[in-house]
């Protein structure tokens, strides 16, 4: 893995050299040549392969095949494939000849000691082709690629510690090692060689910022045996003389890929020759391995649910009970954040996004804590961070956080193919403003983080027309048994007006919205006739529809969708402070738990004993095998400009697809 080493031979005394198994060494015979030399012969003892390379065009030939004309353009290449048992137990002999002399003019001898040195790690990840030789200095994406993977050790395996595992230079419990990648230094050769040669493990000062290396210096079942040797302020480490063929190192990631970090970290081992007291050390060989830090990966609502989170606050007991029942039906765990911890902040979707990290040896969930920092700000770190549950956050240095930095404005699509490009892990969807406008956007540090993960390239949608400004206010994804395996649901004022017009045509114009709403405030009912005669409401919803249509075209283009992949869900909006909010509970802002959907109860017009909005939604979704449960969130959520999805969060199964098999 390093440059070819050049060794010069001498006629005056034998020369000794160290070579590395499988690595070419160039022998320079031109510095000391007997006068009259016209030809030469080269022989190696058993186990020493010697080649002559006359030119690039002719390639190489075995040196012992014949006598060679002396030409300064020739290269003599020596390769040994097995380590030596003793110092200088092999050699190469060069004899110099003249056509005028029957015997050689002189001999030169190069004594060789071969050592086998390799810095190894798991290069052939699950699902990739097994490759007997790869260039460890490279990291290659795709099923035919190769390269080692490093996890950010961002969980907290020792419950007695306050900080994440990678926040200090110690191993606090042996379970912590399971989150690290193993790097092995293998060395074979005469032990006496290391009396005047040293092995140095090293990295660059740049790479040292992103990873930390521990070396076992004692019994592996003792935390005290793991010594921090590389990373942060340590860029080199002399590997001590050891007994045996290999030394194990444990590597942990310190940071996810970001604007200033590509995710690649390199480590090197160099054999240094310290045998000459009159000269400084010289490098003989360097081996290198490259790790890629595993990205943080989001999970779309179409993946199976594992755990549902909800906050219990002053006035949402019935809501929590309804979510608990839906979680029971879906067969997933329920975690309730109590009021003394959430301090009446119910927007758990906005506080965090639940994703995961994955390496061939380990997968664990990681919560991404949003920069919104409401009353729930301590919940992800204090309650979710723990053994095999990691934590990451990004916060701007300035005060640039807006409502768009809440994670109701952070979603991800199911796997798609768009413009000939596969996105097997889907694409992240975030909301912002129109190109060239000066409206609200997700803060730069969050955008940088999302883009840097590379495996779910973000798409920015237009949400600045919304008062809250979140993508989950007008879209969601549900599983489907056909087509692409999902449908995208879009809020549609047009579909709602069409539905109401049909109901009025059939004589139901007096049917009332908001009938039966129970809460602290009296909610005025409004009829279908009143809605359809409200010129301001109609005009404003035409504007809203144009905004959603803009996003519809972006989503079709960037996700490769057709109209058959989209379902229009009837929804109206109203204006507050020149921005849009839902006129009745926002139907697309739903909780998706497999085939079970928790949908905001719209309190739409009751016709023949049925809410016509619920009936319409059922007719659109139940043919897909989905079960619709309408949850009353009117007072505790809708009145505060949020709905079911805003008030819940879900941890889901990771993708079966391994991220390293994709090509970004």
Q: What is the DSSP letter of 380?
A: I
Residue, of 72 and 422, whose pLDDT is higher:
422
Query: CA-CA distances (angstroms) from residue 244 to 240, 249, 580?
Result: 12, 15, 70
- Mean pLDDT on 68-83: 87
- Dihedral of CA atoms 139, 140, 146, 148 in degrees, nearest 10, equals 30
- Mean pLDDT on 127-150: 79
Q: Report yes or no: 292 and 139 within 8 Å, Cβ to Cβ.
A: yes
Percent of the chain whose predicted confidence (pLDDT) is above 90: 79
Rg, C-alpha atoms of the chain? 34
How far apart are the C-alpha atoms of 554 and 474, rounded to whole Å?
14
Beta 181-188 vs 211-216: how paired, if at all? unpaired
Catalytic residue list: 646
- The string of DSSP codes covering 116-135 is EEEEE---S-TTSPP-S---
- Mean pLDDT on 518-529: 88
| pLDDT for res 243 | 56
What band does 131 get if pLDDT is binned at 50, 70 and 90? Answer: very low
| pLDDT for res 135 | 82
Q: Give me the chain's average pLDDT, please.
A: 93
Phi then psi for residue 330, to 5 deg, are -80, -10
- Mean pLDDT on 308-337: 97
Look at residues 29, 74, 72 and name the one whose alpha carbon lies nearest to residue 51.
74
- Dihedral of CA atoms 338, 340, 341, 343 in degrees, nearest 10, equals 110
Q: Is the pLDDT of residue 468 over 70?
A: yes
Which residue is associated with the tokens 């790869």? 134
Sheet holding 648-652, edge to edge: 333-337, 305-311, 648-652
Residue, of 445 and 275, whose pLDDT is higher:
445
How far apart are the C-alpha atoms of 650 and 596, rounded to whole Å?
13
Look at residues 59, 283, 294, 90 and name the one whose alpha carbon lies nearest to residue 180.
294
- The string of DSSP codes covering 626-640 is -EEEEE--TTTTGGG
Residue 129 CB-density burial (10 A; 0-12 exposed, 13-18 middle, 19+ buried): exposed
How far apart are the C-alpha atoms of 113 and 92, rounded to whole Å?
11
| pLDDT for res 125 | 59
Q: Is the pLDDT of residue 127 over 50?
A: no
Span of 23-37, 199-213, 501-515 with lowest mean pLDDT: 23-37
What band does 123 get if pLDDT is binned at 50, 70 and 90? Answer: low
Write out pLDDT tens, residues 229-270.
Answer: 999 899 999 998 765 678 999 999 999 999 999 999 999 999
3-state secondary structure of 242: coil
CB-based burial, 282-300: b 16+ in 10 Å, e otherwise: eebbbbbbbbbbbbbbbbb
Write out pLDDT tens, residues 408-465.
Answer: 999 999 999 999 999 999 999 999 998 878 889 999 999 999 999 999 999 999 999 9
Beta 48-55 vs 106-120: how paired, if at all? unpaired
Q: Report yes or no: 39 and 68 within 8 Å, Cβ to Cβ.
A: yes
Write out pLDDT tens, residues 146-172.
Answer: 999 999 999 999 988 889 999 989 998
Q: Is the pLDDT of residue 509 over 90?
A: yes
- Mean pLDDT on 614-620: 98
Q: Where are the beta strands (DSSP E) in 401-465?
A: 410-412, 416-418, 421-423, 428-432, 459-462
Q: Report yes or no: 452 and 264 within 8 Å, Cβ to Cβ.
A: no
- Tokens, residue 322: 């309804």
How far apart are the C-alpha atoms of 323 and 626, rounded to whole Å?
17
Q: Is the pLDDT of residue 477 over 70?
A: yes
Q: What is the DSSP letter of 468?
A: S
Look at residues 285, 70, 313, 289 and name the one whose alpha carbon lies nearest to residue 193.
285
- Tally of CA atoms within 13 A in the half-sphere of 450 that contains its CB: 28
Q: Is the pLDDT of residue 49 over 60?
A: yes
pTM of the model: 0.93
Q: Is the pLDDT of residue 389 over 70?
A: yes
Q: Report yes or no: 322 and 632 within 8 Å, Cβ to Cβ.
A: yes
What band does 56 get if pLDDT is binned at 50, 70 and 90? Answer: low
Apex CA 33: angle with CA 32 and CA 35, to 5°? Answer: 135
| pLDDT for res 1 | 47
Residue 615 neighbours by CB under 8 Å, 6+ apart: 607
| pLDDT for res 242 | 66
Q: Is the pLDDT of residue 393 over 90?
A: yes
- Mean pLDDT on 123-151: 77
Apex CA 229: angle with CA 223 and CA 232, to 5°? Answer: 110
């Amino acid at each position: 893995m390093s440059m070819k080493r050049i060794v010069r031979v001498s006629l005056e005394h034998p020369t000794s050299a160290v070579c590395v198994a499988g690595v070419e060494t160039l022998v320079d015979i031109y510095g000391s040549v007997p006068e009259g030399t016209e030809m030469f012969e080269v022989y190696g003892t058993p186990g020493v392969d010697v080649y002559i390379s006359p030119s690039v065009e002719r390639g190489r030939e075995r040196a012992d095949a014949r006598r060679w004309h002396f030409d300064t353009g020739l290269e003599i290449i020596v390769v040994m494939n097995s380590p030596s048992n003793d110092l200088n137990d092999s050699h190469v002999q060069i004899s110099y000849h003249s056509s005028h002399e029957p015997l050689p003019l002189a001999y030169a001898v190069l004594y060789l000691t071969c050592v086998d040195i390799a810095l190894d790690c798991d290069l052939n990840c699950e699902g990739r082709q097994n490759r007997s030789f790869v260039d460890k200095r490279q990291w290659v994406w795709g099923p035919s690629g190769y390269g080692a993977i490093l996890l950010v050790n961002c969980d907290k395996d020792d419950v007695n510690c306050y900080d994440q595992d990678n926040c200090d230079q110690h191993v606090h419990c042996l379970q912590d090692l399971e989150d690290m990648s193993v790097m092995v230094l293998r060395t074979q050769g005469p032990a006496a060689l290391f009396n005047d040669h040293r092995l140095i493990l090293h990295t660059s000062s740049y790479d040292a910022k992103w990873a930390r290396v521990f070396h076992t210096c004692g019994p592996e079942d003792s935390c005290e045996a793991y010594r921090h040797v590389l990373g942060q302020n340590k860029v080199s480490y002399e590997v001590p003389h050891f007994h045996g063929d290999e030394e194990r190192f444990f590597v942990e990631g310190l940071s996810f890929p970001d604007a200033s970090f590509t995710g690649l970290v390199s480590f090197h081992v160099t054999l240094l020759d310290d045998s000459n007291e009159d000269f400084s050390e010289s490098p003989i060989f360097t081996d290198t391995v490259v790790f890629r830090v595993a990205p943080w990966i989001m999970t779309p609502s179409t993946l199976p649910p594992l755990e549902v989170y909800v906050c219990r606050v002053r006035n949402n007991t019935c809501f929590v009970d309804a979510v608990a029942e839906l979680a029971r039906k879906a067969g997933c765990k329920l975690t309730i954040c109590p009021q003394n911890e959430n301090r009446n902040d119910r927007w758990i979707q906005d506080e965090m996004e639940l994703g995961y990290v994955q390496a061939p040896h380990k997968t664990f969930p990681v919560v991404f804590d949003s920069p919104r920092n409401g009353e729930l700000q301590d919940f992800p770190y204090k309650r979710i961070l723990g053994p095999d549950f990691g934590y990451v956050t990004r916060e701007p240095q300035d005060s640039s956080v807006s409502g768009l930095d809440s994670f109701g404005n952070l979603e991800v699509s199911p796997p798609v193919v768009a413009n000939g490009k596969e996105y097997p892990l889907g694409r992240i969807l975030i909301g912002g403003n129109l190109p060239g406008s000066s409206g609200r956007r997700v803060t730069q540090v969050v955008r940088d983080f999302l883009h840097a993960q590379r495996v779910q390239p973000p798409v920015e949608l237009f949400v600045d027309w919304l008062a809250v400004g979140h993508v989950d206010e007008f879209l969601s994804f549900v599983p489907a048994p056909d087509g692409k395996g999902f449908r995208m649901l879009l809020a549609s004022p047009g579909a709602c007006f069409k539905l109401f017009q049909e109901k009025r045509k059939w004589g139901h114009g007096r049917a009332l919205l908001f009938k039966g709403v129970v809460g602290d405030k009296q909610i005025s009912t409004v009829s279908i006739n009143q809605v359809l005669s409200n010129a301001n409401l109609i005009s404003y919803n035409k504007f809203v529809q144009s905004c959603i249509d803009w996003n519809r075209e972006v989503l079709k283009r960037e996700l490769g969708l057709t109209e058959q992949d989209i379902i229009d869900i009837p929804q109206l909006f109203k204006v507050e402070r020149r921005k849009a909010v839902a006129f009745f509970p926002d139907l697309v802002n739903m909780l998706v738990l497999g085939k079970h959907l928790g949908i905001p109860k719209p309190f739409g017009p009751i016709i023949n004993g049925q809410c016509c909005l619920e009936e319409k939604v059922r007719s659109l979704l139940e043919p897909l095998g989905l079960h619709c449960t309408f949850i009353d969130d009117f007072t505790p959520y809708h009145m505060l400009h949020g709905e079911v999805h805003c008030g819940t969060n879900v941890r889901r199964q990771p993708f079966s697809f391994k991220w390293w098999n994709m090509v970004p």
